[in-house]
Amino acid sequence: MFEAPKLVDDLNVSLARYAVFGHPVAHSKSPLIHRAFAHQLGIALRYDAIDAAPGTLAAALSRFVGEGGVGASVTLPLKAEAFALAKACSARAKRLGVANTLAWHGDHWFADNTDGEGLIRDIGERHRIDLRGRRVLLVGAGGAAQGVLPALLDAGVSKVTISNRDPQRADQLCDWIGDPARVQTWYLDDLRRAGDFDAVFNATSAGQYGQALDLPFTIANPRTLAYDLSYGKAATSFLAWARAAGCAYALDGLGMLVEQAAAAFELWHGDRPDTEPVYRQLQRDAAA
């Protein structure tokens, strides 16, 4: 006679485990996204959200491997820690020195960074916007700005102007990328004199703290793409500015989130999910 497993845990024992590590992490949409991808492709897995305070990621990952963990997404503030503990990495993760994806290779972690790819795919494939030749303003000079700067340059933008509240950090980011012909800095307080841009990226965390950026309308033109790397409430103020400024597009980072997850999923499973239904579902959830 067929005996059903007594506990859900009995079913989970043999499942390959994946998780997102962050601090905090309860808000993360990664479990939802990865479970949806797995369902779509008929892959059985378990995907959790695991909180790890800074300095504890290596220990948390060892425990995770002991429990069957083979893949990890890594979010703030653990991306540098994730990169440092990996014994091997992709070229793009090496360039950035931070990782958002880890894959267990039997005896070590392999690190990758799919954030830049996620951004470029969202803009180019979902929204069908060509970045080539665009003059870009990148507002912010923290980890988020650094994470997308190489990908923007690789996508063929003509120029990137970095503008940050703390101008020294903008200069540091500019020096780090080392492309003086294409990357320059500008004082955030003085953007009124900077002319207009074909794309404006908000890579600051201002919106996460309920603060608004004071950006002049003069930086936008009627074909400007305005893109906030955050999504949801954190992006509201910047997107409202973009619409009022008459930008052609005002996009939040929800699509980037789904695309960076899809790239991680492909690294782990070798299969690329269809991101569109998952993106649409998250948009509907956000609007509800």
Considering only the stretches 28-36, 47-55, 109-117, 141-149, report the one whose residues sit in contact with ligand ATR under the rule CB under 6 A. Answer: 141-149
Of 29, 79, 94, 233, the catalytic one is 79
Give the x-and-dash track for 177-216 against ligand ATR (CB under 6 A): ---------------------------xxx----x-x---
- Closer Cβ to ligand ATR, 187 or 217, answer by number: 187
Supply the minimum distance, in Å, between the C-beta of residue 252 and ligand ATR: 15
Sole window of 5-13, 158-166, 244-252, 275-283 interacting with ligand ATR (rule: CB under 6 A): 158-166
Task: Work out which of 36, 144, 199, 247 binds ligand ATR, going by CB under 6 A.
Answer: 144
CB nearer to ligand ATR: pick between 205 and 283: 205
Interface region with ligand ATR, contact rule CB under 6 A, candidates 10-18, 64-72, 142-150, 243-251: 142-150
Q: Applying CB under 6 A, what is the total number of residues that bind ligand ATR?
A: 15
Does 235 participate in binding ligand ATR (rule CB under 6 A)? no
Least CB distance to ligand ATR at residue 166 (A): 3
The window from 44-52, 136-144, 177-185, 246-254 that contacts ligand ATR (CB under 6 A) reads 136-144
Does residue 166 interact with ligand ATR by CB under 6 A? Answer: yes
Q: Which of 73, 100, 113, 164 binds ligand ATR (CB under 6 A)?
A: 164
Secondary structure in 3-state letters for the chain? CCCCCCCHHHHHCCCCEEEEEECCCCCCCHHHHHHHHHHHHCCCCEEEEEECCCCCHHHHHHHHHHCCEEEEEECCCCHHHHHHHCCEECHHHHHHCCCCEEEECCCCEEEECCHHHHHHHHHHHHCCCCCCCCEEEEECCCHHHHHHHHHHHHCCCCEEEEECCCHHHHHHHHHHHCCCCCEEECCHHHHHHCCCCCEEEECCCHHHHCCCCCCCHHHCCCCCEEEECCCCHHHHHHHHHHHHCCCCEEECCHHHHHHHHHHHHHHHHCCCCCHHHHHHHHHHHHHC
Catalytic, 79? Answer yes
Rounded Cα gap, residues 54 and 278, in angstroms: 30
* Residues 245, 123: Cα–Cα separation, whole Å: 20
Pick from 126, 159, 169, 182 the residue near ligand ATR by CB under 6 A.
169
CB of 136 to ligand ATR, least distance (A): 16
Neighbouring CB atoms inside 10 A of 181's CB total 6
Closer CB to ligand ATR, residue 95 or residue 165?
165
Residues 6+ apart with CB under 8 A from 8: none
- Beta-strand relationship, 109-112 and 249-251: unpaired
Smallest gap from Cβ 165 to ligand ATR, in A, equals 3
What residues act catalytically?
Answer: 79
- Residues lying near ligand ATR in the complex (CB under 6 A): 140-145, 164-166, 169, 204-206, 211, 213
